[in-house]
Amino acid sequence: GVSTGALLGELHEGCAKLSALEGQLELGRAIEGELPTMIRGCTTLVSLESRLENGEPIYDAMPGLGEKATPGFPTEKCPDTMPDLSGCSSFAAAVLGGDPGMYDRLKQQQTPLGVCLAPCLKPAIDVKSSPQTDSAGLVAGDEACFETFRELFDP
């Protein structure tokens, strides 16, 4: 016959497998509900990457930078003086606040496709994030922004 200890061991192992399977099923149901959103996000990302590779701007996909930018910080050219960053708690605002001369060094630069600092910085100035919210506050108008404005994107 089978010993009680062996039988209990098999029973314990079977329960552990059932518990793991139940967790996987719950995760599967959760993922299934989010799958359409994930697919739309991936499709959008692939489309945006393709447009960037072709040298096309992607402003229309950035909140506040569609065909017509939302009111607030300009997108064509940076103002001569750095705007007031009080109330801005994004990563970009913190970097600029730590080195106010950076704004003056970068405000006249632009990428080979003509993207200047203004549209990249617009979210940092316009969106007043809370200190509890981690926000980059930056968008790259094209791939060259990462190099042209390196000291802000990668301090």
Is residue 76 included in any domain, yes or no?
Answer: no
What does the mean pLDDT of the chain come to?
79
Q: What confidence score (pLDDT) does residue 43 get?
A: 81
Is residue 40 included in any domain, yes or no?
Answer: yes
Is residue 103 included in any domain, yes or no?
Answer: yes
Number of domains in the chain: 2
pLDDT of 31 > 60? The answer is yes
Instruction: Give pTM, 2 decimals.
Output: 0.58
- Specify which residues 126 forms β-bridges with: none
Is residue 50 included in any domain, yes or no?
Answer: yes
CATH number at residue 113: 1.10.135.10
Is residue 95 included in any domain, yes or no?
Answer: yes
Name 131's Cβ contacts closer than 8 Å, sequence gap at least 6. Answer: 89
Alpha carbons within 13 angstroms on the beta-carbon side of residue 108 total 4
pLDDT category at 38 given cuts 50, 70, 90 is confident
Neighbours of 18 (CB within 10 A): 10
Is residue 110 included in any domain, yes or no?
Answer: yes
Domain containing 41 equals 4-54
